[in-house]
Amino acid sequence: MGLADLVASGMDSVEATGLLMNIVWTMIGAFLVYFMQAGFAMCEAGFTRAKNTGNILMKNMMDFVLGSLLFFVFGFAIMHGSDLNGIIGTSGFLDPTKLADADGLFNGLPIGVFIIFHTVFCATAATIVSGSMAERTKFAAYLAYSAAISIFIYPVSGHWIWGGGFLSSMGFHDFAGSTAVHMVGGICALIGAKILGPRIGKYGKDGKPRAIPGHNLPIAALGVFILWFCWFGFNCGSTTAATTSLGDIAMTTNLAAAAATLMAMVVTWVRYGKPDVSMTFNGSLAGLVAITAGCDVVSNWSAIIIGLIAGALVVFSVEFFDKVAKIDDPVGAISVHGVCGATGTILTGVFSSEINLGTQIIGVVSVMAYVAIMAIIVFTIINKTIGLRVSKEEEIDGLDVHEHGSSAYADFNFRI
């Protein structure tokens, strides 16, 4: 219905105008978050080898495809259906539009607007894992995982935080998903990469890690620029309303990202002798992830400090997983999303007087424990049935040829 229709139905003209503005803004936010799939695809493809590019693109596409269908059928009901003991939603399966009130609204928005906004968030959580398990995972196994996170993992912890669950009732604050989206994806990435094992040639006989450079830094950089741009939809769009706070949220988001990028560049310059390109761009993402939980409640200077912490942390975290834990993460997703997501959520309780630090810690630990347990179960079942890893020959030749029968770069020889 348009403005005239809403007024004719008995709604005040000012209220009707506000509703339409909220709808438009929330839909713009949803569209921007959807386009993050392109950013992740470019970022992951650029930071990995050319012989696996087609596989990376397919996984990012299918994350959204499966997430859209399964979140509609099952996930939205689990996340936003009638609450059962603060743990899980129990209504709206198969047709979540039935959860709308008599006016067709849900949480103050038309039900379709609310569903599509949360659908794109679900797809984001799923796609984070793609980069950490890149270059050696069976495509069929990845599809099974993507389905599992869209049904059993993201919607449950999402219900705790955003669907009226126990963390929400405790006052846990995660405005746009540092924990609900990013840490969930990061923990799944950690478990998946650990069970899967490192790529061939990643570690020498002495156990020391070897660098496996990505094939296209310009594409990776384009992915980061796309993600930074779309993050304004991710954070500002989470108001689901055209409010006066949009500018403040955009400012904290941007300042944290800028501070993190600068800090990552400085830290790598000091540690490695030269400013590292890939780590600097990962610093941008680290800052964006970290500020996402508290972008609506922290000051501009607090956002800068959170960004500086995330920018330094991501460098040391990547080194830890690479050298100490010996978990092969080609794109650094575990550190960017998992570590910085958890840290940013906790720091919200440090820098905002409105948020209880203890509650933030409880929320992070609770979600971390649930996601880790479920990810272990899911990946173990997949590994014992479908099998997670491709053969040695397939990994050496590249997944594009063996898994998809084509190459992203025709007539190039990638047997390296």
Residue 8 confidence class, pLDDT cut points 50, 70, 90: low
Q: What is the pLDDT of residue 103?
A: 86
Q: What is the pLDDT of residue 413?
A: 66
Please say whether the beta carbons of 76 and 112 come within 8 A. Answer: no
User: Average pLDDT for residues 383-387, to the nearest whole number?
Assistant: 96
Please say whether the beta carbons of 88 and 78 come within 8 A. Answer: yes
Residue 16 confidence class, pLDDT cut points 50, 70, 90: confident
Using one digit for the tens of pLDDT, what is the confidence trace for 191-241?
Answer: 999 999 999 999 999 999 999 999 999 999 999 999 999 999 999 999 999
User: Average pLDDT for residues 18-43, to the nearest whole number?
Assistant: 96
Using one digit for the tens of pLDDT, what is the confidence trace for 329-380?
Answer: 999 999 999 999 999 999 999 999 999 999 999 999 999 999 999 999 999 9
Q: What is the pLDDT of residue 372?
A: 98
Record the tokens describing residue 323, joined without a space. Answer: 């050298």
Residue 14: how many other CB atoms lie within 10 Å: 8
Using one digit for the tens of pLDDT, what is the confidence trace for 58-74?
Answer: 999 999 999 999 999 99
- DSSP letter assigned to residue 255: H
Is the pLDDT assigned to residue 289 strictly greater than 70? yes
Q: What is the pLDDT of residue 415?
A: 53
Q: What is the pLDDT of residue 6?
A: 67
Q: How far is CA 103 from CA 7, 11, 16, 79, in A?
A: 14, 11, 13, 21
Q: What is the enclosing helix (H) or strand (E) of 268?
A: helix 246-272
User: Average pLDDT for residues 40-67, to the nearest whole number?
Assistant: 96
Q: What is the pLDDT of residue 12?
A: 81
Q: What is the pLDDT of residue 14?
A: 86
The DSSP result for 2-60, as a single string, is -HHHHHHTT--HHHHHHHHHHHHHHHHHHHHHHHHHHHHHHHHHHHS-GGGHHHHHHHH
Q: What is the pLDDT of residue 9?
A: 72
Distance of CA 24 to the CA centre of its chain: 24
Using one digit for the tens of pLDDT, what is the confidence trace for 292-314?
Answer: 999 999 999 999 999 999 999 99
What are the beta bridge partners of residue 105? 110
Record the tokens describing residue 129, joined without a space. Answer: 């894992």
Residue 3 confidence class, pLDDT cut points 50, 70, 90: low
Tell me the HSE value of 306 on the side-chain side, using a 13 A CA sphere.
38
Alpha helices by DSSP H, 71-216: 76-80, 111-132, 139-148, 154-162, 166-170, 184-196
User: Average pLDDT for residues 308-328, to the nearest whole number?
Assistant: 97
| Percent of the chain scoring above 70 in pLDDT | 97
Q: What is the pLDDT of residue 50?
A: 94
Which residue matches tokens 């906790």?
346
Residue 255 confidence class, pLDDT cut points 50, 70, 90: very high
Q: What is the pLDDT of residue 2?
A: 73
Q: What is the pTM of this model?
A: 0.95
Please say whether the beta carbons of 107 and 349 come within 8 A. Answer: no
Label residue 413 exposed, middle or buried (CB < 10 Å: 0-12, 13-18, 19+): exposed
Cα R_g (the chain), whole angstroms: 21
The DSSP result for 351-394, as a single string, is H-TTS-HHHHHHHHHHHHHHHHHHHHHHHHHHHHHT-SB--HHH
Q: What is the pLDDT of residue 402?
A: 94
Q: CA-CA distance, 363 to 54, in Å (whole number)?
A: 37
Q: CA-CA distance, 183 to 80, in Å (whole number)?
A: 20
Q: What is the enclosing helix (H) or strand (E) of 343?
A: helix 340-351
Is the pLDDT assigned to residue 327 strictly greater than 90? yes
Q: CA-CA distance, 401 to 411, in Å (whole number)?
A: 12
Record the tokens describing residue 347, joined without a space. Answer: 């720091």
Residue 11 confidence class, pLDDT cut points 50, 70, 90: confident
Q: How far is CA 94 from CA 57, 73, 74, 76, 341, in A?
A: 29, 4, 6, 9, 31
Q: What is the pLDDT of residue 399?
A: 95
Side chain identity, residue 77: A
